Amino acid sequence: MSANPLEKAARREAPLGVFDSGLGGLTVVHALREKCPGENIVYLGDTARVPYGTRSPETVVRYALGCSRVLLKRGVKAIVVACNTVSAVALDMLRIELDLPILGVIVPGARAAVEASQGAPIGVLATTGTISSNAYPRAVAALSTRAVVIGQAAPLLVSLAEEGWVDGQVPRLVAQRYLEPLVRKGARSVVLGCTHFPLLKKPIAEELAALTGENLPIVDSAYATADDVATFLTERNLACTRTERGTLDLLVTDVPKSFREVASRFLGETVDEVHQIDL
Ligand code: DGL
């Protein structure tokens, strides 16, 4: 049965649900709050179980379903999966199991990479789970028959980002270790294929420039994802009509010691309140 006009209007004003294994998805929230400033957002970071990127696809699907159900109970109108690992291995299952729109980060990231690379080989830095899933090569192949994708698992970068250790010698050395094989295999652009990695863009860019002697494109899927979400909401008549800034509810499954500082860094704005929940 189709919704009546009142139900449709209420749905438009409902919040957008966003989740990630931890705090990395806040980089997507940051972009969403720029592109769709009126939208109310409920964010869930599964900080008690991060990282997802080293776990089996079955476990990631189970965790992702748990996160999605929490958001569903909060009355969200759509879910943005702000995690590459979940987008890589669990998106289809979420779409089968849940009766609401689910948007991921891989397809927008792949599209931005194809545009930036102009046919040259694309390097992808991501979690072990995302790289093993081949989600990026598949998404790129659907957009371009020419582009080659070279993947590199970079799990240590996740810990550095969660720890807030995003500048200086250690992140640069780790970035160098992961970039070197990509450059050796001919990558001419680098996709930050993990929502934690935009925080490490500076050391990654510095090392990429040091290794190649050039300023090659670095692709951050957060803004491409926010563009897709904005278009989707408008096309489906789901965009809110609010003109004032939307609210942001932060839910986490654990509150690490340095939470506020790290979360503010990911989000690019001060974090005042956060609620701890059990899944
Ligand atoms: N946010 C996750 C992603 O984008 C990385 C962190 C994790 O391993 O859970 O893949």
pLDDT digits (tens, 9 = 90+) for 172-188: 999 999 999 999 999 99
Confidence (pLDDT) at 198: 92
Structural domains present in the chain: 5-104+223-276 (3.40.50.1860), 106-221 (3.40.50.1860)
Tokens coding 39? 């939208």
Q: Which amino acid would we find at residue 254?
A: D
**For ligand 1, atom 6, which residue shows the shortest CA distance?**
51
Catalytic positions, please? 83, 194
CB of 158 shorter than 6 A to ligand 1? yes
Top mutation candidate among 81, 87, 127, 132 for ligand 1, by most atoms within 8 Å of CB: 127
Confidence (pLDDT) at 5: 77
Residue 43 contacts residue 25 (beta carbons within 8 Å)? yes
**For ligand 1, atom 2, which residue shows the shortest CA distance?**
83
Compute the distance between CA of residue 187 and CA of residue 122 in angstroms, rounded to an integer. 5
Site of tokens 């931890």: 22
Confidence (pLDDT) at 61: 97
CB of 161 shorter than 6 A to ligand 1? no
Confidence (pLDDT) at 262: 83
Site of tokens 């951050």: 220
Confidence (pLDDT) at 2: 61
Cα-to-centroid distance, 59 and ligand 1 (Å): 14
Confidence (pLDDT) at 140: 97
Q: Could you give the C-alpha distances from 214 to 179, 197, 207, in angstroms and in order?
A: 14, 20, 10
Task: Kindly give the residue spans of alpha helices, DSSP state H, lying in the chain.
Answer: 5-13, 26-35, 57-73, 84-89, 91-97, 106-117, 128-133, 135-141, 155-163, 169-184, 201-212, 221-235, 259-267
CB of 83 shorter than 6 A to ligand 1? yes
Confidence (pLDDT) at 7: 80
3-state secondary structure of 102: strand
Compute the distance between CA of residue 139 and CA of residue 118 in angstroms, rounded to an integer. 16
pTM: 0.93
Q: Write out the chain's pLDDT in tens, 279 residues.
A: 567 877 888 899 999 999 999 989 999 999 999 999 999 999 999 999 999 999 999 999 999 999 999 999 999 999 999 999 999 999 999 999 999 999 999 999 999 999 999 999 999 999 999 999 999 999 999 999 888 999 999 999 998 988 888 999 999 999 999 999 999 999 999 999 999 999 999 999 999 999 999 999 999 989 999 999 999 999 999 999 999 999 999 999 998 777 788 888 889 889 888 899 988
CB of 152 shorter than 6 A to ligand 1? no
CB of 64 shorter than 6 A to ligand 1? no
Residue 38 contacts residue 240 (beta carbons within 8 Å)? yes
> Which residue in 212, 194, 241 sits closest to 24, CA to CA?
194
Cα-to-centroid distance, 14 and ligand 1 (Å): 27
Confidence (pLDDT) at 81: 98
CB of 68 shorter than 6 A to ligand 1? no
Maximum C-alpha span of the chain: 60
Confidence (pLDDT) at 160: 92
Q: Which atom of ligand 1 is nearest the CA belonging to 88?
A: 10
Cα-to-centroid distance, 155 and ligand 1 (Å): 9
Confidence (pLDDT) at 263: 87
Confidence (pLDDT) at 163: 81
